[in-house]
Amino acid sequence: MDGAKRSRWDWLDALRAVAALVVVFDHASATFLPEFRRDLMPHFNTSRYGITVFFLVSGYVIPASLERRGCVRGFWTGRILRLYPLWALAVGTVLVLGLVGVAPLRTDHGGRSALATALAHLTLLQELLGTPGLLLVLWTLSYEMAFYLLVVALFTVRLHQRSAAVAVILALLAAVGALVGGSLPGSALAGLIGTGPLIAVTAVALAVAVCCASAGPPALRVAGGVLGGLLALALVAFDSTVPQWESLVILAVMFLGTAVHRAETGGSTWRAAACAAAVVLLCAVGSAWRYGDGHYFTRRGWITAFLLAVLTFAAAFAARRRRIPRGAAALGVISYSVYLLHPVLLTAVDGTIGRQRRDEPLLLVAFVAVLLPLCALTYRWVEAPGQAWGRRLARRAPAAPQPPVCASDSHSRSSSRSER
């Protein structure tokens, strides 16, 4: 029984493993393989490949987690204790490395106070608040948080089964934005009202949205969910530090993953999922081509990475009932530690031995050999206890009347592992 359950969800962990290793390679190659990276990036953007796979997996898993519980309070409890313990360790370690002089610490807050910068990071929305993260990889957590807010909003207003339609709408908005003007200036809302006030307003609105959606009478839950959803849409559309079209494509990709899950579990049709996939792919590729070569990517590298990421997810989904190598699944279990801690270790490396001027593949191998055992330890002593605590607290949360759950009973029994 346990082996059957394990093999059923190993494909998700294997996908996470692939995504995490590719992102590690992307960032570590800047230190250890500068020449190879310089030649590769114009043709294949490894960072965009890895994060697109991550976003598809999140889209497939996260809404099912909420619907399985049938309780917004339990969902937020689980998410907070899933993300924040390791986040606190990573951010705290970077701060310590900066204070002891091992690595340079960002002291220019762009006019923001240290308190505002800290508050922006605590919301996990710092990338959508005109506040560059202390760690490069933290920017994706901002989109994860925005996705959570939108998922909760749709759940509270009983539109959670419309994932394919939501993916299509977001993709079309991305294409329209690319066609009519490319993208809005970065951090448009922050430029309008100021970064400090925007951070303060967002922090208050986020707290109110989460609390109201998690408790209270039905009308208050709906109001909280809608407030959180509107907040997420406004920040993604008007205050992202990446181009507006790409911000919307990221959300469309996550809802595409949700549409695939709905089709698999009978909550929607495969025709709807296929149509959504076609629209998202067309709009994403068209928007990237229209946007052209930017300072951080070439259109060819971005498009190649995006299409290969979607194909990777599709191939893994098609092979989901096959046996997955145990090592790949085990690596996927610790993928959050791998993703969040590798830039911390790279910061220490850059501050000690420095970046290499020519390719040194053996140093990259040594870096990974140190990273993976470290991540196994942080999973064992930080991630796993936080997840267990979150599950215990979530089970205590009373399930208020909510929309019917779409996932099957068998999925409900085993989705706690897939959430990892």
Q: Please state whether the predicted TM-score (pTM) of the whole model is above 0.85.
A: yes
Sign of CA dihedral 347, 348, 351, 356: negative
Which residue segment(s) compose the domain that 292 sits in? 2-418
412 falls in which pLDDT band (50, 70, 90)? very low
Check pLDDT > 50 for residue 183.
Answer: no
Task: Give the per-residue pLDDT at 110.
Answer: 57
Q: Which residues contact 203 (CB under 8 A, 6 or more apart)?
A: 119, 120, 122, 123
Number of folded domains that form the chain: 1
Amino acid at 167: A
Rounded to whole angstroms, the Cα distance separating 403 from 277 reads: 26
Mean pLDDT of the chain: 88
CB atoms within 10 A of CB 372: 18
Task: Give the per-residue pLDDT at 4.
Answer: 44
Rounded to a whole number, what is the distance in angstroms from the first to the last CA of the chain?
A: 20
- Could you identify the residue written with the tokens 């310590």? 96
Check pLDDT > 60 for residue 413.
Answer: no
Enclosing H/E stretch for 296: none
The pLDDT tens digits of the residues spanning 352-411 come to 888 888 899 999 999 999 999 999 999 999 999 999 998 888 777 655 444 433 333 333
Rounded to whole angstroms, the Cα distance separating 406 from 273 reads: 15
For helices 361-378 and 2-32, what crossing angle results, to 10°? 140
Rounded to whole angstroms, the Cα distance separating 140 from 16 reads: 14
The pLDDT tens digits of the residues spanning 206-234 come to 999 999 999 878 999 999 999 999 999 99
The pLDDT tens digits of the residues spanning 235-269 come to 998 888 888 899 999 999 999 999 999 999 999 99
Rounded to whole angstroms, the Cα distance separating 390 from 327 reads: 26
The pLDDT tens digits of the residues spanning 90-136 come to 999 999 998 888 877 665 555 677 888 999 999 999 999 988 888 98
